[in-house]
Structure 1
Amino acid sequence: MRIVENVKPAELDDVRRVAKLIQQDTRTAKYDLVSGILCDDNGDAMVLPTVLESQKRVVQNWGRVPFSTRRFISGVEHLVFGADFCQKNAQQLASVQAPGGTGALRLAFDFFAQQLKGERIWIGTPCWSNYQNVAKAAGLATQFFEHTSQVEVFEQQLVDTKPNDALILQSGAHNPSGSVYSSEEWQQIAQVCRRKQLIPIIDNASQGLGRGVEEDSEAIRVISSICPNLIVATSFSKNFTLYHEQVGALTIKVECERYTRAVQEAMNGIIRSNYSSPSQFGASIVTEILGDDSLRMTWEKELMDVRSLLKQRKHALLTSINNDKAIPTHTVYGVFFQLPLALSDIRALRTRDAIYLLDNGRISLTGLTPRIIENVGTCIRHALLR
């Protein structure tokens, strides 16, 4: 018997499954509204000017100036938690570089399972489809709750939680809905976590692409001020246009600084038996930008331009659809939002019009260039009217 004959292919999640359908579609005109890769108006992958400048510096100094992990970590912590928190409470933070956002989440889940003896993670729906896969790979059970801004309903859905369960939340604009919680709502969520002794794990996937760099970290700032412990997985794929460089970080805020070293070494131990050490090139680019005041300021201005571009694309699409009432978007921000389409309509858009979005109606604005907006909007309008 061949030892591999019983190997079964992995079940594809929604994103990978639709991406495969796009790849298999042989039509010349097909529209990928699934990918989160930022594209310019010509449809080419966007690279921020600050990233190009930083890359030039990194290449010029490659081999002469060693990569500073401490400088990378300091930049990440100041970006995610803010200068004020780091000035007062930096000793409560343990951080490591991770291979992208998914790698950071896997490390978070492994740490939760192995070191905190956690067994179950609660996932809000609608959600990014890979959460459940990563949790399963880490040996964790999953439970689900519906996202809601009504704190009473939110807490009622968590009635079956146990102390030391984890709750995964998203900072900034939500994927897939594009919605955001207010500061007051985050405070209420944090109080629920504290009262029920839950461990919040925040997926910080696109800081700066929702409402702003500071605004998108509001959840982290609020929860860190209320909950004794907090885990934050950060990705730099979208906001630094480094989608294929896999640059991420994991930061754990502990209740007391005397625990920081043990947490740091525990994370390093998990890393050592997994990927041992992450790649340096993409992280060096991020480090250069976050560590240079002028580059950092310019980078934030560039993100402002990207937010404006995404907003323009969303407005143009909704104008083309001509159905604003069916798609409330006044509180929707960022890269993604959802269309109120039936699954049959979504599948019809794929087969009839070569327009690809996820089964839950999520649409990515990153590839919605001006030349395709009118056609895509017209097709979606017809689908909504059926």
Structure 2
Amino acid sequence: MFETVTPPEPDKIIRLMGMFAADPRADKVDLGVGVYRSPEGKTPVMAAVKAAERAIWERQETKGYVALTGDPGFLDAMRRLVLGDAVPAARVAGAGTPGGTGAVRQVLETVRRLRPDATVWISDPTWPNHPAIIDHLGQARRTYRYYDAATGGIDRDGMMADLAGVAAGDVILLHGCCHNPTGGDLTRGDWEAVAGLCQRTGAIPFVDMAYQGFGAGLEADAEGVRVLAAALPEVLIAASCSKNFGLYRERVGAVLIVTGEGRAQAAAQGVLAGMNRQNFAFPPDHGARVVQDILSDDALGAMWREELEGMRRVMEGNRAALAAALREATGSDRFGFLGAHRGMFSLIGASPAQVETLRETHGIYLVGDGRMNVAGLTAAAIPRVARAVAEVLA
């Protein structure tokens, strides 16, 4: 079966991980892979997670199946975390998934099944797996302008001009916060404008919430999705716990669908259960159980929120320090936008050739489009990274 098959190109980030691992230089810096690192350069297990796992280990007496959509307690906890009191619980259907990527896949497969003629609109640029999954599913897609490379900000006029072309039933994919790869986030006014556009056109927003808590804080980061949920009859949401709970390898994700109460909610819940059954049957439970326990326990929840806020401040500090170091190295505020961005990622405006030079000459690893993971920086590395970027991008 495989004798004449040409294997697909390796994922660029996975390939970058292999190149970094094989690099013998002691001072190499990984700013490509999207994981949080402490000031010591480690990806820690959060103390709240350890405490929850310990309690689960002590009391858990079975590894039997839970439900096709996962534990209802986990889904309710995720609803409260993401949506707050923006909509009644009776309007929300939910399902656990293998990570945020699994949630994105389930949402898009649901759209393909129920709205096969819909076009999925994605920002330019976006997370590479968005178009990859859409294309794999054979869905139509279009892009809308988002990033203004000249200013490091958002091209709001271009975005709204492009989205004026959406049709009823089309899906607009939006990053809930900490836009990947640009770091440029929508304001409340922008979210309200998107909500108004969806009201006028009948388009359906799909919010990918991968980094809640990494931007301006847990509540502030959820403002946009809550604006949409309160204003519109339907909102599709993919949520991930990989980053904000540090549960990368546990694959904890959830689909939340805001729809009408009663028959519509029951139908959405049934569709999600059926989609899970066809794709992977029962979602992983261990990581979801950890999240559920943390969000349902006052002491664990307070511990987690304090840790998460500390992580957010580290990234915020890295941004400020790098922007200052680049200001000193370049004698200009060319990279000042880095300090205003949110979350783990920013585009530094490097070409693929410049990215290669940074890697080969300086041991600094970025994704080919110039995306930098600021969470990969340390205080010791920032001055050297700034000098190298200033030299290569001069």
TM-score normalised over the length of structure 1: 0.93
Deviation at 1:159, TM superposition (A): 4.1
Match of 1:69 in 2: 71
Partner of 1:366: 375
Partner Cα separation in structure 2 for residue 154 and residue 365 of structure 1:
26
Of stretches 142-151 and 284-293 in structure 1, the one that deviates more from structure 2 is 142-151
Q: Trace 1:206-285 onto structure 2 (pairs within 5 A).
A: 206-285=211-290
Alpha-carbon distance change, 150 to 25 in structure 1, aligned in 2, over 3 angstroms? closer
What's the CA shift for 1:152? Answer: 4.5
SS in 2 for 1:366: helix
Letter in 2 for 1:180: D
- SS of the counterpart of 1:110? helix
Tell me, in whole angstroms, the C-alpha distance in 2 between the residues paired with 1:292 and 1:155: 42
- Letter of the 2:37 counterpart: C
In 1, the alpha carbon distance for the partners of 2:281 and 2:186 equals 37
* Residue in structure 2 matched with residue 43 of structure 1 by the alignment: 41
Q: What secondary structure sits across from 1:309 in the alignment?
A: helix
Deviation of residue 343 (structure 1)?
A: 2.9
Q: Which moved more, 1:136-145 or 1:5-14?
A: 5-14
Three-state SS of the structure 2 residue aligned to 1:266 is: helix
| 2:168 equivalent to 1:163 | yes
**What does residue range 188-207 of structure 1 map to in structure 2 within 5 Å?**
188-207=193-212
Cα distance in 2 between the residues matched to 1:141 and 1:278: 28
Contact 1:22/1:356, CA 8 A, preserved across alignment? yes
C-alpha separation in 2, matches of 1:299 and 1:118: 43
Residues 325-370 of structure 1 deviation map (CA, whole Å, 9 limit, x = unaligned):
1112353111111212233221110111121112222110222122
Counterpart check, 1:122 vs 2:115: no
Q: 2:6 aligns with which of 5, 8, 11?
A: 8
Contact 2:39 2:314 in 1 (8 A): no
Aligned length: 380
State the shift of 1:256 in Å: 3.9
Q: 2 CA distance for matches of 1:255 and 1:184?
A: 25
Quick check: 55-64 or 182-191, which moved more?
Answer: 55-64
SS at match of 2:100: helix
Instruction: State the 1:215 CA deviation.
Output: 0.5
Q: Which of the numbers 346, 351, 361 marks the counterpart of 2:355?
A: 346
Deviation at 1:263, TM superposition (A): 0.9
Query: Match of 1:96, SS?
Result: strand
Q: State the SS of the aligned residue for 2:386.
A: helix
Q: Which moved more, 1:356-365 or 1:149-158?
A: 149-158
Query: CA contact under 8 A between 1:186 and 1:223: conserved in structure 2?
Result: yes
TM-score by length of 2: 0.91
> Partners of 1:17 and 1:122 in 2: how far apart?
28
Of the candidates 20, 31, 34, which is equivalent to residue 32 of structure 2? 34
> Residues 143 and 14 from structure 1, CA distance in 2 versus in 1: closer, same or farther, beyond 3 angstroms?
farther
1:173–1:383 distance in 2 versus 1, CA, 3 Å: same
SS in 2 for 1:370: coil
Q: Distance in 2 between matches of 1:341 and 1:272?
A: 43
- Work out whether 1:309 is the aligned partner of 2:307: no
In 2, Cα distance between equivalents of 1:162 and 1:11: 34
Q: Which amino acid aligns with 2:131?
A: Q
In 1, are the aligned partners of 2:204 and 2:234 still within 8 Å (CA)? yes
Q: Secondary structure at the match of 2:122?
A: strand
Q: Does the residue aligned with 1:128 lie in a helix, a strand or coil? A: coil
> Match for 1:243: what amino acid?
Y
Say whether the 8 Å CA contact 1:120–1:165 is kept in structure 2.
Answer: yes
Runs of 5+ consecutive residues of structure 2 not aligned to the other structure:
148-153
Query: Is the aligned partner of 1:299 residue 2:304?
Result: yes
Q: Distance in 2 between matches of 1:169 and 1:242?
A: 23
Distance of aligned partners of 1:370 and 1:155 in 2 relative to their CA distance in 1, 3 Å threshold: closer
Decide which moves more: 121-130 or 56-65.
56-65
Q: Deviations over 1:239-288 (max 9, x none)?
A: 00111110000000013432011111111111101110012111111011
Matches within 5 A, 1:60-139: 60-63=58-61, 69-82=71-84, 84-85=85-86, 89-139=88-138
Identity across matched positions, percent: 29
Letter in 1 for 2:260: E
Q: What is the alpha-carbon root mean square deviation over aligned residues?
A: 2.0
Could you tell me how far apart the structure 1 residues matched to 2:274 and 2:314 are? 42
CA offsets 1:77-122 (integer angstroms, 9 cap, x no match): 000000x235xx1111000101000000000000011123344211
- In structure 2, C-alpha distance between the alignment counterparts of 1:342 and 1:17, rounded to whole Å: 18
Please say which of residues 70-79 and 333-342 is displaced more in the overlay.
Answer: 333-342
Using the alignment, how far apart are the partners of 1:124 and 1:20 within structure 2?
A: 29
Aligned 1:310-329 pairs, distance under 5 A? 310-321=315-326, 322=328, 323=330, 325-327=333-335, 328-329=337-338
Corresponding residue SS for 2:172: strand
Deviation for aligned residue 1:181: 1.2
